[in-house]
């Protein structure tokens, strides 16, 4: 398959879940792919799964100073950047009374501030045409308890998809939001819940979804392939909900 043939694509947060599966599908569709991750061990494991053709770059999405280093790395390797998929994110959920300033600042740095300055840094590498995909969350569309700061950060990202579209479309750069609903990824296991608590949370999440199940990473990855490809050349400033109906029903 060759829907992304001759395209150079960067996926942030590509070591697990949606990002890892998207990298796999981008490679299968003919793209040259780089992924980022904070953990050397995570990058090494992703490299074993994806094969030697993927480029592995250690990067913390919340480290603004490190964005220039990422740009330099890509400039050294590639002639251009056709697709930027900002997938890295912090999924911390807490009751309102348990938030502190440090955790607030960290989630905003990873989910909103970092993506903005990464786009700013990488713009000189992006040709006409090219595509930027911002991974949001259906949490920004609903009133899910304990998601306050997470949802706010993702709402900001959705706004960027619209405002940056207006600013960059004259350069041939399309910006769109990809909005997952509840998805079966390792992120839930990182919440630190005991097994029974995690199982109960998964059931609560399933109960939110009109289709009666959580999404699968490959379903989100297929949508990312569409937004990265020339097939979506008339799709600009949109939010593509792949959420089992959570945001609309």
The residues annotated as belonging to the active site are 150
Candidates 197, 198, 95; CA nearest to 146 is 95
**CA–CA separation, 161 and 155 (whole Å):** 10
**CA–CA separation, 98 and 228 (whole Å):** 38
Task: Kindly give the interhelix angle for 101-108 and 148-168, rounded to the nearest 10 degrees.
Answer: 30
**CA–CA separation, 27 and 33 (whole Å):** 7
Q: Which long-range contacts (CB under 8 A, 24 or more apart) does 124-128 make?
A: 124/71, 125/71, 125/74, 125/75, 125/78, 125/80, 125/81, 126/80, 126/81, 126/82, 126/84, 126/171, 126/173, 127/80, 127/81, 127/82, 127/172, 128/171, 128/172, 128/173
**CA–CA separation, 28 and 5 (whole Å):** 9
**CA–CA separation, 65 and 113 (whole Å):** 12
């Amino acid at each position: 398959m060759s829907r992304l043939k001759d395209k150079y694509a960067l996926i942030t947060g590509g070591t697990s879940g949606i990002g890892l599966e998207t990298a796999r599908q981008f490679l299968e569709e003919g793209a040259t792919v780089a992924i980022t991750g904070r953990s050397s061990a995570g990058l090494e494991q992703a490299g074993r799964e994806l094969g030697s053709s993927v480029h592995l770059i250690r990067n913390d999405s919340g480290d603004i100073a490190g964005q220039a280093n990422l740009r330099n790395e890509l400039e050294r390797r590639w002639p251009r950047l056709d697709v930027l998929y900002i997938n890295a994110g912090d999924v911390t959920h807490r009751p309102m009374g348990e938030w502190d300033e440090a955790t607030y600042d960290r989630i905003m740095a990873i989910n909103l501030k970092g993506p903005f300055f990464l786009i700013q840094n990488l713009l000189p590498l992006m040709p006409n045409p090219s595509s930027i995909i911002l991974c949001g969350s259906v949490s920004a569309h609903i009133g899910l308890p304990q998601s306050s700061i997470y949802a706010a950060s993702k709402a900001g990202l959705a706004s960027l998809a619209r405002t940056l579209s207006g600013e960059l479309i004259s350069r041939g750069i399309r910006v769109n939001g990809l909005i997952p609903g509840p998805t079966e990824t390792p992120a839930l296991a990182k919440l630190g819940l005991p097994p029974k608590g995690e199982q109960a949370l998964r059931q609560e999440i399933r109960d939110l979804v009109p289709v009666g199940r959580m999404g699968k990473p490959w379903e989100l990855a297929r949508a990312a392939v569409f937004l990265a490809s020339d097939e979506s050349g008339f799709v600009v400033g949109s939010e593509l909900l792949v959420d089992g109906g959570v945001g609309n029903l």
